[in-house]
Chains A and B, each alone.
Chain A
Amino acid sequence: MTAILGSIAVVVAFVSAAALAVRGFIAMRNGAIDVGSALKWPVYGVVGGALAAMSILEIAILRDDFSIEYIANNSATTTPTIFKVATGWAALEGSIVLWGLVLAIFVYTVHRQVSRAEGSDQLGAGALAVLGVITFFFFGLMLPGMSFWIFGVSNPFRVCVELATVGCFEASNLPWVESVTAFEGRGPNPLLQNHILMAVHPPMLYFGYVGMSVPYAFAMSALMLGMSGTAWLQRTRAWTLIAWGFLTLGIVLGGWWSYEVLGWGGYWAWDPVENASFLPWLIATAFLHSAVVQQRRGMLQAWNYVLVISTFALTILGTFLTRSGVIVSVHSFTQSPIGPALLWFLMAVLVVSFVLFATKIHLVASSPRLDSLVSREGVFLLNNLLLTVFAIVVLVGTLYPMFLEAFGGSEVGVGRPFFDRMAIPLSFALLLATGIGPVTPYRSAKGSVIWERVRTPARIALAAAALAVVLSYRNTYLLLGILTATFLMLVILRNLYYAARKTADQRKIAVPAAALHVMRSDTGYWGGQISHFGVALLALGMALSSNLAVEAEITLTPGDTDTVAGYDITYLNQFSRQEPHRFVTGAAIEVSRDGRVVSRQEPRLNDYSTSTQTVATPAVYESVRGDLYLSLRSINSQAVVLGVWWFPFIWLVWVGGLLAGLAVLWSRLVRKPARDKVPVPRAVGDER
């Protein structure tokens, strides 16, 4: 029953997506059609089908319906409810269902915007048509009853026809065949049922990833229509900003999850899955900035198309990398048919997009030249250069070992040493440019004007770094981190203070109220500045926590105490308990400082009934000064071996990262103050 209902939902969404594409293209060509009502039913079909597919899968998981292969192999009766819900997207087929649902939500939102437009919104119709094609592909992957080319290679509702000892051994694509039901399922991957963030991080990331389809659709539509001007760009940038906010939050929450769960004390390892999420982020960030140059100065029109197309292509590449098994080995990716299907789609996207780009770009792009390199445009170009080079480094480093292996070369590993060597200098350069850019005037700027605006922040930042030297912290990366991050924060605050003081004088109000008024009067600019401030906090947190970290491995018998980074760590006793889905062994640890007990912690080892792998859960004592991170290495009746880390001010990384992403809300939600006669000065950098 589940299989049949689920299959119907998938087919409804699939057919509706085809209809959306066809009718969308017709509406784009014919300016006389009312787009909103012409595309209403296909849109409802896509949304209804996608919602139904996800709901049916979730309900079946919650009801432990092990006649479905996906559920028998990825859930278990003992799985806690919250992780049952997360199982809906934690494995391959479910993740494609979530992809389809998020895509449908974006289709619905774009359609609402298009319906409200006055007259015939041909640009919106074309965008909906392109979204229809993308939706067609993703629901094609989920189709029942077949498995060839791209169709039906990731069917979430396959019915189990032969049982394994636990879970399902063989399944059928035909929803109506007689199914067998496993007594118990295999349960989710132990690592994925350990922390609540696992239920939040993937959907965030998907809203970011899938959201990049919308700007791509608008860009394609504008190219097909040969539409010049900035109308497409304004709409595209607004959609990119929303997707970018989700993507930022998704990446930060992913790092946080990794830190809280994996037990190695870090949050970013430059592994291919992380890189896959970071690549579209870098290029989308470049676009958010270069789009401003086009809006303000009419430059970079062709370049902006390249960025939007690349962002979308990188999301598909990322999905291919994470979902095809190509990371484990180039030669394993054909084992799952979704790999070739995604690769095929990626190639089609690249070929179609760049052929369209090459044939139409003369219609839409003109290229006014740069007046001077020393100008806001110049810094924006520098920003784009740095971000693009950054992306190329990450892309080449991620793909190079795979290419070598695929073409029979020797094995080469590319990891943290390579990425750090490239990324750290690029990041410092980006931070400096982020500080200087927003206070640099457009067209042509005088060095003395810029210096006047950054002089005080530069001096205070230098003083902060000099103080660190005097206190005998002399690590180069630490000093550069303190220097660039405090500089960036102070430039933003100075900028706000001067604008606020001017407004306070004109309107006879207090400076704090004036600051709020200034920030509300240009939400786009100040949303960006809040985001920059978040990036600075994140950079400062990274510099402090990684360069001042203390690491130790200690062995304790019950009652013993050892000291790490000024904290006395006492091993009280061993404990163990049986939970429904796992057996937990842990150490009760008392943390004290200056003779005063500050915390009780319980680092644990978990053995899941459904897996042979033992999974450690670290315990983290968090304080304003930093985190004491305890990871259980081994435990027996005599002694416990603990990995202990001290990470000063690591909370700045999470707070800064979340602030950078949430800043989008300021741009999108905060309303401008009511107009009145006194003009509000724009941000200092804005006047010409």
Chain B
Amino acid sequence: MNVRARQIIGWVVTAALAGIVVVGMIMGDTRPEDRVASIGAAIKCPVCQGEAIVDSPSETAVAMLEILEEKVAAGETDQQIYTYFRGRFGDGIILDPPFEPQTLLLWLLPLAAVAGGIWMILSRRRRPDLVSGEAA
């Protein structure tokens, strides 16, 4: 009985701790969202090799970051800001690829890999009837 009681207490404590963590995650971050950082991570520095403007110290990137800061301060929406940079530098400037026919494979190939991998693992399992068959 003593063991059982300790087990129950253990489970209650575990569940309570997990509850706190889950509630914390649902309540979300207390820090204000940094829009410049999140949008800036999705805008490519045009003179760099595949880096975002927040990741590059180059003058072009710094200048673009300043434009971005002004636009965020002016209260423009994400979409408005993306449209502005797209218009000036072309579609390739946005590093967060949209879901559209051209990028279908980009999103589907990883999913296909997950599905294929799971299928391969499951197909390698010893089938239950075979297990009993061998045991007999």
Question: Quick one: CB contact mask for B29-49 with A, threshold 8 Å, 1 for yes?
Answer: 111001001000110100011
> Considering the complex, which residues of chain A in the window 455-509 have a beta carbon less than 8 Å from any beta carbon of chain B?
455, 458-459, 462-463, 465-466, 468-470, 472-476, 479-480, 483
B42 and A417 form a contact (CB under 8 A): yes
> Considering the complex, which residues of chain A in the window 249-267 have a beta carbon less than 8 Å from any beta carbon of chain B?
262-264, 266
Q: Given that A413-B93, A474-B29, A551-B37 are contacting pairs, would A462 and B110 also be in contact in the complex, using a CB cutoff of 8 Å?
A: no
B113 and A388 form a contact (CB under 8 A): yes
Q: How far is the CA of A91 from the CA of B98 in the complex (A)?
A: 36
Question: Quick one: CB contact mask for A313-325 with B, threshold 8 Å, 1 for yes?
Answer: 0000000000000
CB-based nearest B residue for A390: B110
Q: Interface size class for chain B? A: 35 or more
B121 and A381 form a contact (CB under 8 A): yes
Q: How far is the CB of B84 from chain A (nearest CB, A)?
A: 15
A462 and B56 form a contact (CB under 8 A): no
A416 and B125 form a contact (CB under 8 A): no
Q: Contacts of B2 on A, CB cut-off 8 Å?
A: none
Q: Contacts of A459 on B, CB cut-off 8 Å?
A: 10, 13-14, 17
> Considering the complex, which residues of chain A in the window 528-579 have a beta carbon less than 8 Å from any beta carbon of chain B?
551
A414 and B95 form a contact (CB under 8 A): yes
Which of the residues A272, A388, A410, A470 comes within 8 Å of B50, measured between beta carbons?
Answer: A272
Q: How far is the CA of A483 from the CA of B59 in the complex (A)?
A: 39
Q: Is A397 an interface residue (CB 8 A)?
A: yes
B49 and A474 form a contact (CB under 8 A): no
B124 and A370 form a contact (CB under 8 A): yes
A392 and B113 form a contact (CB under 8 A): yes
Which of the residues A269, A396, A551 comes within 8 Å of B52, measured between beta carbons?
Answer: A269
B95 and A416 form a contact (CB under 8 A): yes
Which of the residues B21, B54, B56 comes within 8 Å of A466, measured between beta carbons?
Answer: B21
Q: Is B91 an interface residue (CB 8 A)?
A: yes
Q: Given that A412-B97, A418-B95 are contacting pairs, would A616 and B27 also be in contact in the complex, using a CB cutoff of 8 Å?
A: no
B23 and A392 form a contact (CB under 8 A): no
Question: Quick one: CB contact mask for B86-98 with A, threshold 8 Å, 1 for yes?
Answer: 0000111111110
Q: How far is the CA of A84 from the CA of B57 in the complex (A)?
A: 25
Q: Is B106 an interface residue (CB 8 A)?
A: yes
B109 and A468 form a contact (CB under 8 A): no
Q: How far is the CA of A401 from the CA of B25 in the complex (A)?
A: 35
Q: Contacts of A411 on B, CB cut-off 8 Å?
A: 90-92
Q: How far is the CB of A205 from chain B (nearest CB, A)?
A: 17
B93 and A388 form a contact (CB under 8 A): no
Q: Contacts of B94 on A, CB cut-off 8 Å?
A: 413
Which of the residues A327, A367, A455, A462 comes within 8 Å of B21, measured between beta carbons?
Answer: A462
A476 and B25 form a contact (CB under 8 A): yes
Q: How far is the CA of A382 from the CA of B121 in the complex (A)?
A: 9
Q: How far is the CB of A326 from chain B (nearest CB, A)?
A: 10
Q: Contacts of A263 on B, CB cut-off 8 Å?
A: 57
A410 and B91 form a contact (CB under 8 A): yes
Q: Is A415 an interface residue (CB 8 A)?
A: yes
A415 and B21 form a contact (CB under 8 A): no
Interface size on A, residues (CB 8 A): 65
Q: Is B79 an interface residue (CB 8 A)?
A: no
Q: Which 9 A-B pairs have the closest CB atoms?
A: A415-B95, A411-B92, A469-B24, A417-B96, A462-B17, A466-B20, A269-B55, A369-B126, A385-B117
Q: How far is the CB of B64 from chain A (nearest CB, A)?
A: 13
Q: Is A273 an interface residue (CB 8 A)?
A: yes
Which of the residues B21, B118, B121 comes within 8 Å of A479, measured between beta carbons?
Answer: B21
Q: Contacts of A270 on B, CB cut-off 8 Å?
A: 50
CB-based nearest A residue for B118: A385
Q: How far is the CB of B4 from chain A (nearest CB, A)?
A: 15
Which of the residues B52, B62, B91, B124 comes within 8 Å of A369, measured between beta carbons?
Answer: B124
Q: Given that A385-B117, A422-B110, A474-B29 are contacting pairs, would A269 and B51 also be in contact in the complex, using a CB cutoff of 8 Å?
A: yes
B25 and A415 form a contact (CB under 8 A): no
Q: Is B105 an interface residue (CB 8 A)?
A: yes
Q: Is B133 an interface residue (CB 8 A)?
A: no
**Most-contacted residue by chain A among B17, B31, B41 (CB, 10 A):** B17
Q: How far is the CA of A614 from the CA of B100 in the complex (A)?
A: 40
Which A positions have Cβ atoms within 8 angstroms of B? Answer: 262-264, 266, 269-273, 299, 327-328, 367, 369-373, 381-382, 384-385, 388-389, 392-393, 396-397, 400-401, 404, 409-418, 422, 455, 458-459, 462-463, 465-466, 468-470, 472-476, 479-480, 483, 551, 614, 616, 631, 633
Q: How far is the CA of A442 from the CA of B124 in the complex (A)?
A: 16
B42 and A416 form a contact (CB under 8 A): yes
Q: How far is the CA of A381 from the CA of B10 in the complex (A)?
A: 31
CB-based nearest B residue for A550: B31
B97 and A389 form a contact (CB under 8 A): no
Q: Contacts of B37 on A, CB cut-off 8 Å?
A: 551
Q: How far is the CB of B112 from chain A (nearest CB, A)?
A: 9
Q: Is B75 an interface residue (CB 8 A)?
A: no
> Besides A469-B21, A476-B25, 12 other CB < 8 A contacts?
A327-B50, A370-B124, A373-B121, A392-B109, A410-B91, A411-B92, A413-B96, A416-B52, A417-B95, A462-B14, A474-B28, A614-B59
Q: How far is the CB of B73 from chain A (nearest CB, A)?
A: 13
B54 and A264 form a contact (CB under 8 A): yes
Q: How far is the CB of B60 from chain A (nearest CB, A)?
A: 12
Q: Is B102 an interface residue (CB 8 A)?
A: yes
CB-based nearest B residue for A401: B92
Q: How far is the CA of A551 from the CA of B54 in the complex (A)?
A: 12
A474 and B25 form a contact (CB under 8 A): yes
Q: Is B18 an interface residue (CB 8 A)?
A: yes
A396 and B118 form a contact (CB under 8 A): no
Q: How far is the CA of A371 from the CA of B121 in the complex (A)?
A: 12
B117 and A389 form a contact (CB under 8 A): yes
Which of the residues A367, A469, A473 comes within 8 Å of B23, measured between beta carbons?
Answer: A469
Can you list 18 A-B contacts with CB-CB less than 8 angstroms, sorted by A residue number? A269-B51, A269-B52, A272-B49, A371-B126, A372-B125, A372-B126, A381-B121, A385-B118, A388-B113, A388-B117, A413-B97, A415-B44, A416-B42, A416-B52, A465-B20, A468-B24, A551-B37, A633-B62
B109 and A396 form a contact (CB under 8 A): yes
Q: Contacts of A372 on B, CB cut-off 8 Å?
A: 125-126
Q: Contacts of A327 on B, CB cut-off 8 Å?
A: 49-50
Q: How far is the CB of B83 from chain A (nearest CB, A)?
A: 15
Q: Given that A385-B121, A466-B21 are contacting pairs, would A262 and B57 also be in contact in the complex, using a CB cutoff of 8 Å?
A: yes
Q: How far is the CA of A382 from the CA of B122 in the complex (A)?
A: 11
Q: How far is the CA of A266 from the CA of B51 in the complex (A)?
A: 12
CB-based nearest B residue for A300: B124
B17 and A412 form a contact (CB under 8 A): no
Q: Contacts of B48 on A, CB cut-off 8 Å?
A: 271
Q: How far is the CA of A212 from the CA of B13 in the complex (A)?
A: 48
Q: Is B132 an interface residue (CB 8 A)?
A: no
